[in-house]
């Protein structure tokens, strides 16, 4: 199942589940302030969060994953940066987003479907041959001389 149902472009946000990834301390602090503002009026709640500190010697910036639910529609105003992802029910953590299923492009899906169909035809022809053999054996065994 997909990790995102697409970006939510409506603002204020409709009621629903969303996730976002913040990169860098400045984004994380700004987002935490935004969350606090809307949590204090009980318009949203945080379902899960995950903080990954900066890498050794600051080789990678700190990141924060937040899964939240907007409880009150048409009140919560998104302030960015970017847009939140609409979260399906299977998303419960950062791992679901980072290691979600591979979503094939339309051309790749057609290719996979063609391969599956060819495999079904091959299995069907093998099955038909086996059925024909079994029918012949049953016929020969049941034939009275």
Give residue-wise pLDDT tens across range 33-60. 999 999 999 999 999 999 999 777 767 8
Confidence of residue 112 (pLDDT cuts 50, 70, 90): confident
Contacts of 81 (CB under 8 A, 6+ apart): 27
101-123 burial by CB neighbour count: b if 16+ within 10 A, else e? Answer: eeeeeeeeeeeeeeeeeeeeeee
CA distance linking residue 36 with residue 55, whole number of Å: 27
Using one digit for the tens of pLDDT, what is the confidence trace for 57-98? 767 899 999 999 999 999 999 998 889 999 999 899 999 888
Return the percentage of the chain with pLDDT > 70, whole number. 89
Q: What is the mean pLDDT of the chain?
A: 86
Predicted structure pTM score: 0.66
């Amino acid at each position: 199942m997909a990790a995102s149902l697409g970006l939510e472009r409506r603002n204020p946000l409709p009621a629903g589940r969303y996730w976002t990834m913040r990169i860098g301390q400045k984004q994380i602090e700004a987002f935490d302030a935004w969350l606090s503002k809307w949590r204090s009026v009980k318009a949203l709640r945080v379902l899960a969060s995950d903080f990954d500190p900066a890498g050794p010697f600051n080789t990678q910036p700190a990141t924060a994953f937040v899964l939240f639910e907007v409880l009150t529609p048409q009140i919560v105003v998104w302030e960015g940066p970017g847009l939140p992802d609409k979260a399906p029910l299977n998303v419960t953590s950062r791992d679901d987003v980072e290691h979600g299923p591979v979503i094939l492009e339309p051309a790749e899906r057609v290719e996979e479907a063609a391969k599956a169909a060819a495999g079904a035809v091959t299995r069907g022809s093998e099955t038909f041959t086996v059925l024909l053999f079994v029918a012949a054996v049953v016929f020969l065994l049941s034939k009275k001389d």
